[in-house]
Amino acid sequence: MLVRKNYNLKSLNTFGVDARAKRLMIIENFDDLTNLTDSSFYREKPVFFMGQGSNVLFVRDFPGVIVLNRLMGREVVEEDDDHVFLRVNAGESWTDLVDYTVGRGWGGLENMSLIPGTVGAAPVQNIGAYGVELKDVLDCVEVFDLRTGNLEMFSVKQCKLGYRTSIFKTDGKKHYLVTSIVLKLNKMPEVNIGYKALREYFTQNPVDEITIRDVSEAVKAIRRSKLPDASVLGSAGSFFKNPVVSAKKAGQLLSRFPGMPAFDTGDRRFKLAAGWLIEQCGWKGRREGDTGVYEKQALVLVNYGNATGKQIYDLSQRIVESVHEKFDILLEREVTVV
Ligand SMILES: Cc1cc2nc3c(=O)[nH]c(=O)nc-3n(C[C@H](O)[C@H](O)[C@H](O)COP(=O)(O)OP(=O)(O)OC[C@H]3O[C@@H](n4cnc5c(N)ncnc54)[C@H](O)[C@@H]3O)c2cc1C
């Protein structure tokens, strides 16, 4: 296990903001986990788990220990005529994993191509894109419980996965370190191109028989055209969640804003597009100092170079306030603010 003191996290978060951790611990194998229950480690609280830092915003230095998960490895743990059960350790790159499964012809992850980050963070906010969420392909999650020092297996139900949330982002965020996940992948995959942007892509780029490789390539092309490359422009992807409102509230808003996108969630509630709401308030493409709202997608806040985490947070707060004023909707941050 590697330990670093007073460590600058700038290269470890995709916003590229300056912040120091009092201590950084890098977990590289399962034996390292025992150090996390060591009494000297507990004196160093608070603790924050991290993967590739693509969904965090540091607004100040961190006064405790950052635990960086670098547990590598993957193996097929079960297989039948239809499915492959693939166990993947938490430090693996999600995008590499998707490419690997698509390359083997195992379906399930292709719509989630090119989402940055580690495998271990995927269940934390139940990552999703283009009509598929992790919960659709997840079999179980292994965690290390800091309180007991034991590895435990969580069923999908125990993970309490929801829209960009789970037990690992809420009640369990201080003590459950995700160490590996098991995915149930399809050996005879059916493609899912129900999402509007994907349907449009294949209308413009027709293919005789669409494969999961085609879907993966389509998702990558769409994402590259809409989202900033984190190695060029600092961001954490979507900064806010899409708000879900009652049918009554959606109806009231639609009568005032007939062009507003609203998706029926099937339980008398509607999901609204946070990006659209932000754009209507005039934020899209606006720059304030080194912070700004991405010109191609209003849901994405960016760091043009030397913005501090506090400046990005303050910008997000002004956006929250103006959306609240215009639509009476309180946007919730998807990004974990530390
Ligand atoms: C350009 C861009 C596009 C994006 N697009 C999408 C998208 O389409 N869909 C989507 O869902 N997300 C998207 N994201 C957000 C991000 O990619 C995901 O949330 C990803 O899963 C974060 O992985 P990470 O390893 O970087 O996690 P980090 O940012 O390091 O951590 C994120 C959260 O997970 C916790 N965590 C991390 N690892 C562990 C662990 N092993 N055990 C317990 N807790 C842990 C952290 O404490 C933190 O709360 C995007 C981000 C960027 C920059």
Does residue 334 carry a catalytic annotation?
Answer: yes
- Answer whether 124's CB lies under 8 Å from 50's CB: no
pLDDT of residue 2: 79
105, pLDDT greater than 70: yes
- 17 C-alpha to center of ligand 1: Å? 16
- 70 C-alpha to center of ligand 1: Å? 14
- Whether domain 234-337 has CATH 3.90.78.10: yes
pTM for the predicted model, two decimal places: 0.94
Q: Which residue has the higher pLDDT, 267 or 142?
A: 142
Catalytic residue among 113, 180, 235, 238: 238
- 283 C-alpha to center of ligand 1: Å? 24
Number of Cβ within 10 Å of residue 44's Cβ equals 14
Nearest to 242 by CA among 164, 314, 306, 295: 164
Confidence category of residue 124, pLDDT binned at 50, 70, 90: very high
What three-state secondary structure class fits 154?
strand
pLDDT tens-digit readout, 32-60: 888 888 756 656 678 999 999 999 999 99
What is the pLDDT averaged over residues 53-74? 96
- The CATH number of 74-186 is 3.30.465.10
- The CATH number of 2-69 is 3.30.43.10
Does 154 contact ligand 1 (Cβ within 6 A)?
no
Nearest alpha carbon, ligand 1 atom 8 = 129
Mean predicted lDDT score pLDDT of the chain: 95
301, pLDDT greater than 80: yes
With the most atoms of ligand 1 within 8 angstroms of its CB, the residue from 124, 174, 239 to mutate is 124
Distance between CA atoms of 249 and 262, rounded to whole angstroms? 11
Distance between CA atoms of 175 and 266, rounded to whole angstroms? 34
pLDDT of residue 1: 74
Does residue 238 carry a catalytic annotation?
Answer: yes
Q: Percent of the chain at pLDDT above 70?
A: 98
With the most atoms of ligand 1 within 8 angstroms of its CB, the residue from 54, 223, 300 to mutate is 54
pLDDT of residue 50: 97
Ligand 1 atom closest to residue 227's alpha carbon, by position in its atom list: 1
- 56 C-alpha to center of ligand 1: Å? 7
pLDDT tens-digit readout, 5-42: 899 999 999 999 999 999 999 999 998 888 888 756 65
- 336 C-alpha to center of ligand 1: Å? 9
- Answer whether 70's CB lies under 8 Å from 28's CB: yes
Does 236 contact ligand 1 (Cβ within 6 A)?
yes
Ligand 1 atom closest to residue 228's alpha carbon, by position in its atom list: 1
Domain 2-69 and domain 234-337, same fold? Reply is no
Distance between CA atoms of 24 and 182, rounded to whole angstroms? 27
Does 230 contact ligand 1 (Cβ within 6 A)?
yes
Does 181 contact ligand 1 (Cβ within 6 A)?
no
pLDDT tens-digit readout, 186-220: 999 999 999 999 999 999 999 999 999 999 999 99
Number of Cβ within 10 Å of residue 247's Cβ equals 14
Longest dimension (CA), the chain: 61
Ligand 1 atom closest to residue 48's alpha carbon, by position in its atom list: 47
- Answer whether 211's CB lies under 8 Å from 133's CB: no
Residue ranges per domain, the chain?
2-69, 74-186, 234-337
Does 146 contact ligand 1 (Cβ within 6 A)?
no
pLDDT tens-digit readout, 259-278: 999 999 888 999 999 999 99
> H-type helices in the chain, by residue range?
39-42, 94-104, 196-204, 212-226, 247-256, 274-280, 309-327
- Answer whether 21's CB lies under 8 Å from 61's CB: yes
